[in-house]
A and B are shown apart, each in its own frame.
Chain A
Amino acid sequence: MVFRSEEMCLAQLFLQSGSEYDCISELGELGLVEFRDLNPSVSSFQRRFVSEIKRCEEMERILGFLLREIQKAKIAVPQEDESPLAPPPRQVLEIMEQLQRLEMELSEVAKNKDKLQRNLLELTEYTHMLKITRTFIHSRSRVSLILTQPLYEEFPTMETDSATGSTGMQRLGAKLGFVSGLIQRVKVEAFERMLWRVCKGYTILSYTEVDESLADLDTGEISKSFVFLISFWGDQIGHKVQKICDCYHCHLYPHPENDEERADVLDSLRTRIQDLNNVLHRTDDYLRQVLQKAAESAYTWVVQVKKMKAIYHILNLCSFDVTNKCLIAEVWCPVSDLANLRGALEKGSRKGDATVPSFVNRIPSSDTPPTLLRSNKFTTGFQSIVEAYGVGDYREVSPAPYTVITFPFLFAVMFGDLGHGVIMSLFALWMVLTEKNQNKKRSSNEIWMTFFHGRYIILMMGLFSIYTGLIYNDCFSKSLNIFGSGWSVKAMFTNQHNKTVQTNALLTLDPNVSGVFSGPYPFGIDPIWNLAVNRLSFLNSYKMKMSVIVGVIHMSFGVVLSVFNHLHFRQKFSVYLLFLPELLFLICLFGYLVFMILYKWLAFSARNSSQAPSILIHFINMFLEFNLVGLISQTGMQVFLLLIAVMCVPVLLLGKPLYLYWQQRGGKGLRRLNISCTALQFDFADVLLHQAIHTIEFCLGCISNTASYLRLWALSLAHAQLSEVLWAMVMRLGFKVTTEVGVVFLVPVFGLFAMLTVSILLVMEGLSAFLHALRLHWVEFQNKFYHGTGVKFLPFDFSQLPSVFEQDGLL
């Protein structure tokens, strides 16, 4: 990552026909350049290489079907580490053929399998039906006259009527017919009711549920069916029954006449079912074999087709030159990569068939190039959080290298806890050490991927939190006493015997008494403050002042960075008319505030604590009271600083517009800039308005932004208090129980403490501090110098292209 974005140039590539495919393939592998669309007015259906793209899409369709079948059969697709290169056009036809053959084979096998399964289902249903109607017949013959319907007792003759599929029996001149079959469970009651209404009692319906649930092939759902047996008298009733059965989609099967026939049919059915099962198994095995073989090359094909399609898209962006023999492409290329670009073109030309090599030609351009900032795996995270605000203008100073340190630092100021910092660092360290495995796994859980992409950010945040935790002397809300406290209780209370201590619940240590305070704790906050009741009085004052100091320094740093922008864009006047007034305004007012803070810390001690002034009152009085008496005294100096600050405002407001106006009118000594200035459209009112907005924003912003940095105090206070509450209300309870039960009781108490620490203090507070630190960067720091209105450089790179199949989860 660098100070500012890289220098880019516009280049023209002349690709000889015959080698253009290979050249672009090379460029795609390297990811060097960004192609510009030279045919913006042409619709995508009229472009040159539409048929090739259609072919690629056809192949992708077949590959999608193939991958879905492979996934259904639960076969894993092996992925290679090295991605294969894009295939040359002659290999494309081979792949296309292979894919089409596979598709045909698979669909045939699938069709056959479907037919076999349907057959199997029918036979199974028939078997069930036969078995169950057997019980009907036998039970019915033993049933007494409970039923009001007349029952048949004798079967004189039987004739099979194959046309209606029912068996007829002669009895008393009327023909007794049987219809048997299967019906779905949900339709049974309606079926019965319909039969009753239509046939008016000339039918007997008996049905039972089938134990096994069968799959309905058309819808694929598994449902329960009922076997039914209808016995009826008369032909017409027979027709009506037939029609009703058709209406309710029943599966009808011929009813056997007697038991021997039934047994014969059952036997034959059994053998047929066995055969069918065999065939089905074999079909499954064959299908699996085919899919296994296809799975081996599936990944290669997917990558090859993806690369091919991308290359043809790029070729569509190019235009043909006059002689129609070579393609012209316009690319944005970083100046430092021009040599690599030439090398890639040479390599591509060698692979291709062209006699003349392709070459590159740099052309001047007045368009703004896109912004490229190179980053490694560590800095990518920080780069992305800066770019979430806005991609920098071309060749603008980038805040990203500073964000690497200041962002975790500001986070840690708000999060400062040693124990929590250690946990966060360990978590991030684990993610960093196992990053190779995680990259291979490519999980689809978005939240986890977000955390994983920010692993270096979290690591830095954790490490800085350890440091600030040591300074705040806060480890799970307890303080560490490493060096020995600087406050002495003995020295305060030796001469007073135990009476004073006994009678008063709260006593204050007075630093004026000799021996009580013997020097500041060398590293961080003194551990005695953790035991003190008035702890927050001291800490609040300390943290608020610390926040203001950090804030003013951070903002001044931002203003200083704007100098580099002014100098680069050759606006030296901006240094005097923008940067200087801004810096003076900031320093004279808020730099003075910081000075007052430091002075009060150094000059006033417990001896003259009664005279120690309140900084805030002093600062406000600086604006309200104008006392010109005595220029050398403090009031005098304050007036002087205030005057400087106030004078900066009109300079900031009017300086730049007036200067530009004077320049346009042809100011002395600026003859050579005359031409460029008149070429520009100079609108005085526009510039003045712009500058007025900027002035108001800056001056009011100074005050509000400085106050905004007080969130550093607020969040660290919230974190410390939450931590203390958690300890006092959860962990202390576990320690209070002193018997042996206490040991056992401590285990769930610790579990609860750990869970609440992670969920509330680490996750919630962590996200909150992250957000606030981000806001401080984006608003308070970056609006001092950063514009962020640029376009990002998106190179043509195969590894950056998303794969449709990966998104569907098929690969």
Chain B
Amino acid sequence: MVSHSLALPMICFTTLWALVGVVAPFLVPKGPNRGVIVTSLILTAVCCYLFWLVAILAQANPLFGPQLKNETIWYLQYYWE
């Protein structure tokens, strides 16, 4: 049970995928494959960022919590905290 903020991961991952998708295309050396590599970098950044974003937004404001067995609750009380 750790307190997680929404802002810190948001900044981290946004900058990470921005680096991959926006900055890295300018660093690709000129060659016959430049077009494919740039397209791939941008698409990877978009897909992976979107996927991560959906996962974190879906959990940001949960409408209900997990339903646990009482054995699990005992275990978690002593092991995770």
Contact = CB atoms under 8 A, between A and B. Distances in A.
Interface of A: 1-3, 374, 376, 379, 401-402, 404-406, 409, 413, 467-468, 471, 483-491, 493, 501-502, 504-511, 516-526, 528-529, 531-535, 537-538, 541-542, 545-546, 549-550, 553, 598, 601-602, 604-606, 609, 612
B36 A531 contact: no
Contact of A506 (B40, B63, B67): B67
B60 interface: yes
B15 interface: no
B61 to A, nearest CB: 4
Nearest to A516: B65
Interface string B23-64: 000000000110110011001100110111011111111111
B56 to A, nearest CB: 5
Given A1-B36, A511-B62, A606-B62, A519 B68 contact: no
A531 B61 contact: no
Contact of A508 (B3, B47, B65): B65
Given A509-B66, A531-B66, A401 B57 contact: no
A401 B41 CA distance: 11
A549 B54 contact: yes
Given A489-B68, A507-B73, A517-B65, 15 more contacts: A374-B32, A409-B43, A486-B4, A487-B1, A490-B1, A501-B70, A501-B74, A504-B70, A506-B67, A509-B67, A511-B65, A522-B8, A542-B58, A545-B58, A609-B63
A550 B35 contact: no
**Among A1, A406, A491, A519: residue with most chain B CB under 10 A:** A519
A531 B72 contact: yes
Contacts of A502: 70
B81 to A, nearest CB: 5
Nearest to A376: B33
A485 B43 contact: no
Contacts of A374: 32
Q: Which of B8, B36, B80 has the most CB of A within 10 A?
A: B36
Contact of A489 (B6, B52, B61, B73): B73
Contact of A602 (B36, B60, B62, B81): B60
Given A2-B35, A401-B36, A532-B66, A598 B2 contact: no
A519 B77 CA distance: 19
Contacts of B54: 542, 545-546, 549
Given A486-B4, A521-B4, A509 B36 contact: no
A325 B50 CA distance: 66
B4 A520 contact: yes
Contacts of B65: 487, 508-511, 516-517, 606
Contacts of A526: 59
Contact of B44 (A405, A489, A521): A405
A402 B36 CA distance: 9
A72 to B, nearest CB: 48
Given A468-B51, A518-B1, A533-B69, A605 B6 contact: no
Nearest to B2: A484
A298 B18 CA distance: 59
Contact of A401 (B32, B35, B55, B63): B35
A516 B44 CA distance: 35
Contacts of B33: 376
Nearest to A520: B59
A615 to B, nearest CB: 12
Contact of A520 (B6, B13, B43, B51): B6
Nearest 10 A/B pairs, CB to CB: A519-B4, A484-B2, A532-B66, A509-B65, A605-B61, A488-B1, A522-B9, A405-B43, A520-B59, A609-B63
Nearest to A532: B66
Contacts of B19: none
B77 to A, nearest CB: 5
Contacts of A525: 55, 59
A541 B65 CA distance: 13
A538 B66 CA distance: 8
A403 to B, nearest CB: 10
Contact of B67 (A491, A534, A553): A534
Contact of B77 (A409, A486, A493, A534): A493
Nearest to B79: A489
Contacts of B50: 549-550, 553
Contacts of A605: 61-63
A531 B74 CA distance: 12
Contact of B52 (A471, A506, A507, A519): A471
Contacts of B36: 1, 379, 401, 404
A376 to B, nearest CB: 7
B4 to A, nearest CB: 3
B43 A406 contact: yes
21 contacts: A376-B32, A379-B36, A405-B44, A467-B51, A486-B3, A489-B73, A489-B76, A490-B81, A493-B73, A501-B70, A509-B67, A517-B62, A522-B12, A523-B9, A532-B67, A533-B66, A535-B66, A542-B59, A545-B58, A546-B54, A606-B62
Given A489-B80, A522-B56, A602-B61, A405 B47 contact: yes
A508 B63 contact: no
B35 A489 contact: no
Contact of A518 (B3, B67, B76): B3
Contacts of B44: 405
A509 B73 CA distance: 10
Contacts of B12: 522
A406 B47 contact: yes
A506 B2 contact: no
A402 B59 CA distance: 30
Contacts of A509: 65-68
A492 to B, nearest CB: 8
Contacts of B55: 471, 524-525, 542, 546
A4 to B, nearest CB: 11
Nearest to A525: B55
Contact of A532 (B5, B51, B56, B68): B68
B60 A520 contact: yes
B57 A602 contact: yes
A336 to B, nearest CB: 11
A523 B52 contact: yes
Nearest to A485: B1
Nearest to A463: B44
Nearest to A518: B3
Contacts of B2: 483-486, 518
Contact of B57 (A1, A468, A483, A601): A601
A546 B56 CA distance: 11
B68 A604 contact: no
B15 to A, nearest CB: 14
A752 B60 CA distance: 40
Contacts of A518: 1-4
Nearest to A410: B47
A506 B60 contact: no
A2 B62 CA distance: 45
Nearest to B76: A489
A521 B59 contact: yes
Contacts of B4: 483-484, 486, 518-522
